């Protein structure tokens, strides 16, 4: 696959098919269910060897980072493929927080010095970055940030507490959204020894979160304004929607496979009308979510003015579809679907946590309503 290829919207080219196959084969080998369970119980919550292999073998960390800053220079259409496969495999680890969320804030900002300093390490996997935006209420609205930034004679210092920071306990680069006298800003803390961090108890063990306390913490202000931050969040929402579609599709696939082999009254339960209709309804909802996610990824590459609305719509629809598919998967399995040994609960928990990440469906619909003037 070459970075200068420009396929039309929604076109699954031969190169993209091969890319998807390569990513899927890699994840099937490195992250089967048994490995997901092992890694989610590990102290760091990800597999360092797999993390390096993702960078060395597939160059995934720098996929949408410009080539001039050590990345591959591809678009969000390619990133959507990766996110969908990661979501289907339920891969634990900081890919979204580092390679998508934090990298996106740097890429869409105007600070070329910071880009040159931090993006190459994110792209090669040697650095794990994250964005610390939310506070105790858990809102992903930058306007509700209370963390303060003050400029002293030695530079900027931060005071406040961030909650629900994705992979905040393992990141070595933390981008903090804080409020200065002249307005909202993004500040970089690259000496994590100055932070007080603690893991936060979460429903979803495959996606770690942390509380970060900032007490006169030294930081560097980045040239990222509020508009650029919102643009980065919209790009991240588009990517996350694709991950949710991948998880929803896997839930449906698991349910359909089970319905084919589970027999009651001498017949496969998949032959019962109620179950057939449930699966058909889920398929329709997932396909609609996939279309919305694909358009959001295309808008990120080709129509930036329409991206905020497209991303909000995609994230809201994908969140709802994933949660319904995960719940239906448990119900269709009956008693076994509620057991720890079955993977259904892992997808259910990821569906719930992903719905809250970057703002739930209500938050996304409010964004959409504001954008279209309702």
| pLDDT exceeds 90 at position 176 | yes
Single out the residue of 254, 260, 261 nearest to residue 276, CA to CA: 260
Q: What pLDDT does 8 receive?
A: 52
Tokens of 91: 């891969």
The architecture that CATH gives domain 229-372 is Up-down Bundle (1.20)
Class of the 129-226 domain?
mainly beta
Chain mean pLDDT for the chain:
94
Could you read off the pLDDT of 249-279 as tens digits, one per residue?
A: 999 999 999 888 877 787 877 777 888 899 9
Tokens of 254: 């698991």
Q: Average of pLDDT values for 165-194?
A: 96
pTM tops 0.85:
yes
**In angstroms, rounded to a whole number, what is the distance separating the alpha carbons of residues 120 and 123?**
5
Domain residue extents for the chain: 14-123, 129-226, 229-372
**In angstroms, rounded to a whole number, what is the distance separating the alpha carbons of residues 332 and 329?**
5
Single out the residue of 108, 361, 145, 372 nearest to residue 240, CA to CA: 361
Single out the residue of 286, 163, 180, 184 nearest to residue 230, CA to CA: 184
The answer to whether 148 touches 159, Cβ cutoff 8 Å, is: yes
Phi, psi angle pair for 216, to nearest 5°: 50, 45
Do 14-123 and 229-372 fold alike per CATH? no
Top pLDDT among 270 and 29 is at 29
Which CATH superfamily, name and number, covers 14-123? Acyl-CoA dehydrogenase/oxidase, N-terminal domain (1.10.540.10)
Could you read off the pLDDT of 62-93 as tens digits, one per residue?
A: 999 999 999 999 999 999 999 999 999 999 99
Q: What pLDDT does 117 receive?
A: 97
| pLDDT exceeds 70 at position 39 | yes
Q: What pLDDT does 6 receive?
A: 46
Could you read off the pLDDT of 197-225 as tens digits, one per residue?
A: 999 999 999 999 999 999 999 999 999 99
| pLDDT exceeds 90 at position 316 | yes
């Amino acid at each position: 696959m070459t970075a200068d290829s420009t396929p039309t919207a929604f076109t699954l080219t031969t190169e993209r098919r091969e890319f998807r196959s390569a990513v899927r084969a890699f994840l099937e080998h490195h992250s089967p269910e048994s490995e997901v369970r092992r890694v989610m119980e590990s102290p760091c919550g990800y597999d360092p060897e797999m993390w390096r292999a993702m960078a060395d073998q597939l160059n995934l960390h720098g996929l949408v980072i410009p080539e001039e800053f050590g990345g591959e220079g591809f678009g969000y259409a390619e990133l959507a493929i990766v996110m969908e496969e990661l979501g289907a495999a339920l891969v634990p680890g900081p890919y979204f927080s580092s390679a998508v969320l934090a990298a996106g804030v740097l890429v869409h900002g105007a600070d070329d010095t910071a880009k040159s300093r931090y993006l190459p390490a994110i792209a090669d996997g040697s650095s794990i970055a994250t964005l610390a935006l939310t506070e105790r209420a858990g809102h992903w609205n930058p306007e509700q940030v209370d963390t303060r930034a003050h400029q002293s004679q030695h530079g900027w210092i931060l005071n406040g507490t961030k909650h629900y920071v994705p992979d905040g306990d393992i990141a070595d680069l933390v981008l903090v959204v804080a409020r200065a006298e002249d307005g909202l800003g993004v500040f970089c803390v690259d000496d994590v020894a100055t932070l007080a961090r603690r893991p936060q108890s979460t429903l979803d063990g495959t996606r770690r979160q942390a509380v970060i306390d900032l007490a006169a913490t030294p930081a560097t202000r980045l040239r990222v304004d509020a508009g650029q931050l919102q643009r980065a969040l919209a790009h991240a929402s588009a990517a996350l929607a694709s991950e949710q579609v991948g998880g929803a599709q896997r839930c449906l696939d698991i349910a359909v496979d089970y319905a084919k082999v589970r027999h009651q009254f001498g017949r496969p339960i998949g032959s019962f009308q109620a179950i057939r209709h449930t699966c058909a309804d889920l398929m329709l909802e997932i396909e609609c979510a996939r279309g919305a996610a694909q358009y959001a990824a295309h808008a990120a590459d080709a129509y930036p003015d329409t991206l905020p609305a497209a991303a909000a719509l995609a994230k809201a629809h994908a969140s709802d579809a994933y949660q319904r598919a995960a719940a239906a998967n448990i119900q269709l399995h009956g008693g076994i679907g509620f057991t720890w040994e079955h993977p259904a609960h892992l997808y259910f928990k990821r569906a719930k946590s992903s719905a809250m990440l970057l703002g739930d469906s209500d938050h996304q619909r409010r964004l959409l309503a504001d954008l279209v003037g309702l």
